[in-house]
């Protein structure tokens, strides 16, 4: 197991070496602490190395830089630099993203938003089964799945070995595999109806303690907004696809909706917890929706000063709407 303090020192040494080689000479570098990698200040500019989940680190890098009073940010990473460069364009503060190739820093090229593929026709045939079982059919990046109060409970997949398309029941890939192994001969509709009933019980407001109540809180929040748009002063809220694919069900990732607030179409990004990268995510959401007005909805307890700082750093600024 890696020693966190030793890893932090290695990241700090790496960043300092990269910056010295890039700037040349003997620049004066003031190191600082940054949990997702390393950070330092050169003059009035911040240099931040994103070592841990760089695709989710831009917001943290900007927050660190603003708190240090820096006038510009240099973000260094070995992966996801195209995504970072794209999102960096949506901030007021000047941000330069560098791709680290060995000891050389190369300017990152912004990559376009990924295209949303269509759900295959053979997959769409399962939408009625999903709805009849009590789940809500959803489509994201060419995938048809069913949700209950924001939690995925089934997914339509192609079996490459048997050459068939089927509806797999379960919460997440491992759960679907286990369910298939135990109940492979059971019709999907009855099996899914049982799962829907169980999940609905644990996802109801006030039901806590069970693992099903702790997953996908941001999607549960979005589901609440659809059911009760008045929570954010909206006349109507409907789901929208994410700007980038969701990696899995376990890691918290913001989700998107579109609301009508005061007669204006408004993009809604839902998040929970202290998510420093949600404002960077909003840059992508704004571009994907084609809507300039964006609000971030989060529980009141999660609205911290740093979130307000980041919301003001986006161009145009993002509005935070707390809910209880």
Cα dihedral sign, 190-196-197-198: positive
Phi/psi of residue 107, nearest 5 degrees = -60, 130
Q: What is the structure's pLDDT at 185?
A: 55
pTM: 0.92
**pLDDT under 70: residue ranges of the chain:** 1-2, 182-187, 205-208
Q: What is the structure's pLDDT at 1?
A: 46
| 20-24, Cβ contacts within 8 angstroms, sequence gap of 24 or more | 21/103, 21/104, 21/105, 22/98, 22/105
Q: What is the structure's pLDDT at 186?
A: 66
Q: What is the structure's pLDDT at 188?
A: 74
Q: Where are the domains of the chain?
A: 4-107, 121-203, 216-323
């Amino acid at each position: 197991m890696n020693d966190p303090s030793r890893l932090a020192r290695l990241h700090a040494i790496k960043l300092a070496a990269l910056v010295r080689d890039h700037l040349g000479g003997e620049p004066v570098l003031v190191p600082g602490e940054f949990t997702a990698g390393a950070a330092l200040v050169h003059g009035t500019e911040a240099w931040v190395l994103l070592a841990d989940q760089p695709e989710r680190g831009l917001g943290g890098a900007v927050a660190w830089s603003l708190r240090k009073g820096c006038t510009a940010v240099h973000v260094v990473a070995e992966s996801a630099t195209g995504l970072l460069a794209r999102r960096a364009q949506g901030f007021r503060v000047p941000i330069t993203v560098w791709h680290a190739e060995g000891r050389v820093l190369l300017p990152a090229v912004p990559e376009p938003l990924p295209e949303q593929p269509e759900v295959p026709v053979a997959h769409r045939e399962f939408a009625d089964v999903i709805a009849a079982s009590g789940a809500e059919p959803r489509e994201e990046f060419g995938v048809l799945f069913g949700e209950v109060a924001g939690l995925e409970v089934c997914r339509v997949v192609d079996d490459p070995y048997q050459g068939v398309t089927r509806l797999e029941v379960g919460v997440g890939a491992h759960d679907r595999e286990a369910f298939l192994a135990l109940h492979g001969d059971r019709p999907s509709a009855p099996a899914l109806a049982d799962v829907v009933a169980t999940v609905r019980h644990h996802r109801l407001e006030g039901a806590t303690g069970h693992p099903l109540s702790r997953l996908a809180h941001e999607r549960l929040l979005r589901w609440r907004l659809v059911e009760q748009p008045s929570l954010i002063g909206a006349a109507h809220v409907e789901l929208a696809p994410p700007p980038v694919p969701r990696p899995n069900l376990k890691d918290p990732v913001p989700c998107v909706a579109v609301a009508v607030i005061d007669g204006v179409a408004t993009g809604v990004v839902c998040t929970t917890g202290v998510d420093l990268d949600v404002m960077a995510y909003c840059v992508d959401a704004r571009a994907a929706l084609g809507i300039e007005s964006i609000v971030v909805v989060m529980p009141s307890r999660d609205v911290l000063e740093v979130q307000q700082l980041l919301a003001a750093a986006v161009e145009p600024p993002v509005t935070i709407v707390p809910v209880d």
